[in-house]
Structure 1
Amino acid sequence: MPGYTAVVNRPLAITATYTDPTGHPHHRPLTGWPSRIFQHETDHLSGTVYVDKLEPRSLSTTQTYTDLWNDPVPTRAAEALRFELD
Structure 2
Amino acid sequence: MLFDACPNPQVLDLVRRGWDRLGGLRTSTFSFVPGRARQSVAEHEQILGLFDAGAPASDVERAVRAHRLATLDAFLAHRHP
Same fold (TM over 0.5): no
Question: TM-score, normalized by length of structure 1?
Answer: 0.28
Alignment TM-score, normalising by the size of structure 2: 0.30
Q: Identify the structure with the greater helix proportion.
A: 2
Higher relative contact order structure (alpha carbons within 8 Å, sequence separation ≥ 6): 1
| Greater strand fraction, Structure 1 or Structure 2 | 1
